[in-house]
Chains A and B, each alone.
Chain A
Amino acid sequence: MQITLNGHCKEVTDNTTVAELLTSLGLDPTRVAIELNQQVISRERFGDTLINAGDSIEIVQFVGGG
């Protein structure tokens, strides 16, 4: 199925969770902030939040320094 990831089209397998998407992208779930269809998804819900066809997902990955 097709989704929009950070403004770009992306093909992902059906029934993918947010946590699985992060793994496939090689991202550390403790360092990201995620918005699914403009709703903030909290960390404890990454594993059971399913992504649907046509969804828009925004992932911000933070790096250290301040």
Chain B
Amino acid sequence: MQRVSTKQSDNVNIYLNEKPQLIGPETTAGEVRDLHKPDADLMICNGFPIPAEQLLQEGDRLVLIRRGEIPPDDELEALLTARHTPGVHAKVKQATIGIAGVGGLGSAVSIALARIGIGRLIIADFDVVEPSNLNRQQFFLDQIGLPKVAALRDNLQRINRAVQVEPINQRLTSENIPALFAEADILVECFDLPDQKAMLTESWRSHYPDRPLVAASGLAGYDSSNSITTRRAGMNFYLVGDLETDARPGRGLMAPRVGIAAHHQANAVMRLILGVDPAGE
């Protein structure tokens, strides 16, 4: 039997700056650039920079960037997430994450999640920015005196305007935690004091046993980076840190180790959203 010509189907469907685009067969990235954005000097395909002569395949996600140019709003998200692993952004964009406390841990977790384009962040803290925060917290000198949640919201919006940020400027208690974070898919515990950490853990886990909690304990000083781990501590309960190294006179809290723990927490959140066990291999 004579085969019907499939010339039509030889066309290739790609995504150009996250929008569907049909291109001819055997088309190179450089040819697409010349047609759509000739002044682009960076081509990123499926999260990785590629040369102009690379042939594009069905389903490829190509992003064309001109260095130094601030992109229009409708292209901003595609360009911001061009270096993501493909498929990650669509999932993280659907998520609402609660951040309880926005000091050293919470400010860094929030910034990491905003950079990957999380859909919505509910950030809560009652404190204001003061000078001793700046050794580890993601604020700036000119923000001293501002409520931390207001300062952090501004910083997050400067990174990614597409993230919805809901600041809550009040002290969290076992009574108000379930209502304030009612819409959070996952809660991240980022308090400083151990009794507050225990209070939040009890409140969240007894109200929302099916929703994950990512807590932290043991991240002071400058002990080994490698002693900070992410472990499972119960059903839907993950614990980051070395579990022992507390902040005390003679042992402070500093950006490197607090940041390591915060980014363990942020990666645990990303893995949970993507359906991967945060404590698994």
Contacts and interface: CB of A to CB of B under 8 A. Distances in A.
Interface in B197-215: 197-199, 201-202, 205-206, 209, 215
Contacts of A38: 234-235
A42 B206 contact: yes
Interface string B159-198: 0000000000000000000000000000000111111011
Interface string A39-66: 0101100000000000000101111111
B269 interface: no
Nearest to A59: B233
B137 to A, nearest CB: 10
Interface in A28-43: 28, 30-33, 35, 38, 40, 42-43
Nearest to A6: B233
Contact of B217 (A35, A43, A62): A62
Nearest to B195: A30
B216 A31 contact: no
Given A42-B206, A66-B103, A33 B198 contact: yes
B105 interface: yes
Contacts of B199: 43
Contacts of B193: 64, 66
A66 B216 contact: yes
Nearest to B220: A65
B15 to A, nearest CB: 40
B198 A66 contact: no
B258 interface: yes
Nearest to B234: A35
B104 interface: yes
B202 A31 contact: no
Nearest to A58: B234
A58 B205 CA distance: 14
B274 interface: no
A65 B219 CA distance: 7
B247 interface: yes
Contacts of B209: 40
A63 B258 contact: no
B239 interface: yes
Given A35-B234, A40-B206, A64 B246 contact: yes
A64 B194 CA distance: 5
A58 B217 CA distance: 16
Contact of B233 (A42, A60, A63): A60
30 contacts: A30-B198, A31-B194, A31-B195, A33-B201, A33-B202, A33-B205, A33-B233, A35-B205, A35-B237, A38-B235, A40-B205, A43-B199, A58-B234, A60-B201, A60-B217, A60-B239, A62-B195, A62-B198, A63-B220, A63-B244, A65-B192, A65-B217, A65-B218, A65-B220, A65-B246, A65-B253, A65-B258, A66-B106, A66-B216, A66-B258
In order of increasing CB-CB distance, the 9 nearest A-B pairs are A63-B246, A65-B247, A33-B201, A66-B192, A62-B194, A62-B197, A31-B194, A65-B220, A30-B195
Given A31-B194, A32-B198, A63-B218, 11 more contacts: A40-B209, A43-B199, A60-B201, A62-B215, A63-B220, A64-B192, A65-B218, A65-B245, A66-B101, A66-B106, A66-B191
